[in-house]
Structure 1
Amino acid sequence: MHLSQLLDGAGTAVVVREGAEAFLVQGAASTYDLAMEAARTGQSLADVVAAHGRGDPVDLPAMAAQGRLTLPLTHPDPAHLHLTGTGLTHLGSAATRDAMHAKASQDEAVSDSMKMFRMGLENGKPDTLPGVQPEWFYKGNGTVAVPPGGTLTSPGFAQDGGEEPEVAGLYVIGPDGTPARVGWTLANEFSDHVMERVNYLYLAHSKLRPASYGPEILVGDLPADVQGTSRIRRAGEVIWEKPFLSGEANMSHSFANLEHHHFKYGVFCQPGDVHVHMFGTATLSFADGIQAETGDIFEIEAPAFGLPLTNTLGQADPAPVARVRAL
C-alpha cells in the first residue's frame, strides 16, 4: 500500500494506491491525521485507511504532472517536523566519503570516516540492540522541507548544491511518547559537498540545507534490497545517471539500530511531532566530478516507491552579513 497527499483547494486530500489503482481516502484531510489516529488507537495504518474507505479514483501520474502532489507527510506546525539523517550506513559509502576527503599524505592515519564505517560493519547489525552509534546530523525543520517537483534552493553563501538519493523513514510520535513508523519514502538529502570537503568538521554546516521527500509513502515492510536510479537532467538531456542501492542487504547498519540511536533521545519523543529521518547513500554525482548547475533537475526513482522524486536546483542571491540586535 502507498499513500500520498494531493493539493485540494485550500487543503490536502489523501490518496491510497494499491497496485495500479489509486483512490481518495474518505474523510481524511491528511496523512498526519490518519497516522495519529493509528498511533492513538493502536490500530495498523492499513486498517485505519481501510476503515475510512475508498473515495473517487485518482490519476496519480496526471496529478504529479500538474504539480498537485505535495509532501506525503507534514505537521500542521512546521516547527514540529524534524529533518535528520545518518551517514556512512551503506556498503560503499566510506569509499565515497574518503574520495571527498582525500588525504594529503599516504602516511596519515585512517580517516575518521573510515573508522566510523568499520565500526558499523563490526556492530551496526547487532543480534541484541543497541549496536554502535552511527554518524548523525540535523538538517532543519518543516520550513525547509520542499515538496516533490519543487526547487531545492542553495543559500547565497553555499559553495555547492548536490543531490543525495536516499530512503527516509517517516514517523509520528504517539500521545504516550512512543515513536511510530508511518512508512518509507524516497528522499533527496540535498547537501553542500564542496563545503564538507574543506574540513570534515564542516559536515554540520553542509547539511543545513533544504531537503525533499516523497511523493509516495510505502506502508509496511521495506524490501531488503532496494534498487533505484539517480540522475541529473540539464536542458532536457541526462548529464549523469547512476544506480543506487539501499535496504538492509546493502547497509552496514540495521534500521532498528539506526532508529534506536535517533529515538533514544527524549527530545525526539515529544507527542505529536513528525520525524523524517534519512538513512544515507553511497551514490553522489559530486563524487564523480559533476558540478550541478542552477536549473538542473534531480530525479530519484526506485520501483518499490512508485512515482519518482524530482526537484530543480535553485540558487539564492547573496545575503548581507547576519547581525544580531541587542534588546
Structure 2
Amino acid sequence: MVDYAIWAAQKALSKAEYEWKKATPLMKELKLKLQFLTFRAWIWATGTISSRTLHIPWDEAGCLCPVGDLFNYAAPGEDLNGFDNVDNLQNGYALDDLDTQHSQRLTDGAFEEDAAAYCFYAKTNYKKGEQVLLSYGTYTNLELLEYYGFLLEDNPNEKVFIPLEPDIHSSSSWPNDSLYIHQNGRPSFALMAALRVWATPPYQRKSIRHQAYSGSQLSQDNEISVMTWIAKKCHATLKAMPTSIEDDNLLLSFTDKIQEFDNLWEWGKAMPAFGGEFCNLLQATNLKRNDESFASRRAKMLIDRWKLAVHWRLIYKKVLVDCISYCTDTINSLSSFVS
C-alpha cells in the first residue's frame, strides 16, 4: 500500500511494545491484575491517557484537565512552520521567528504561570448552542489517526508523500518531511525547489541552487520537466495501489449496510471485489469464521478501524489525482505561453 503509512504504523507499534516491556516490571511490582498487564491493556491505557493529556512545561507526561479535554479538534489554517510561506522567506524573516509566530497561532490553550491555570482561547465568536472547537496543533491525517483515532476530510495540514529517487534527496538539503504534496494537490515549496535542482544537469546545479531555493522558476523547460515528472510519479503510484478511488468509495458505502448481514463473514462474502483484503483483515485479528456478530464490541471496533484506514487511503488517492490535474494545467499553460 503506502510505504510511509505502513512505516508509521510499525514505528508506533514498536514504540508501544518497547514502553510496555519497560513498564511491565513496575506494573508487576504494583501487583496489578493479570488482565491489566497485557499488551492490549497497555495500548488501551496509553491511548486513553495520551489522547487526553495537555502539554505543561515542567513535565513531559503532560497533565489531565477535566472539561478542557472535551473540546473537539479544529485544524489551524495555513502552515507557517513549513517552507511554503514564500513571502516571509523571501523577505528575510528568520525561521526561528516564524516558529515563534507559528506556535502562538496553532494551539488555542496553554498553561499560564501568571494565572496559575490552564487557559483556553476561542478564535471564533461562538453563538449559544454552537460547538466550541480548539486547535491542538498542526497534525496530518496520519498523525491524527495515530494520536487521536480520527481524521479530517479537509485537513489544511495534510501532507501526501510520493516515492522519490535517492538522488533527489542527495542533490538538495531540504528535510525529507518537507518534500510533500498539499491536500489541494499542489507540490510543497521544498519539493518544487528540490525537483527544479534535480532536473538541472549536475554541472549547473551549484550556479542555480540559490535561485531554485528562493522559489523561482529556472526556465519554462525545467518547469515543464518537473511538472511532467510529478504527474507521472503520481499516476504510477495510483496504478500500483491494489484498489482504485471507485473501489474505496464502494467499500465505504458498503460498510453502511453491515446490519443487513448476520455476521462479519456473511458480510465479507457479499463483497467479492474486496474478499481478499477482508479475509486478511479478519485473520490478522484472529477472528473466527463462525460466530463474530456485528453486535460484538470487537467486531464493531474492527469495522470502524477498517473504515478509517480506507478513508485515509481514499484521501491520499484524491490528493494524487488533484496533483495530476494541477501539473497538467500548469504544463498546458506553460506550453501555450511558449507557443
- Shorter-chain TM-score bucket reads under 0.3
TM-score (norm 2): 0.22
TM-score (norm 1): 0.22
Larger strand proportion of the pair: 1
Larger helix proportion of the pair: 2
- The structure with the largest alpha-carbon Rg is 2
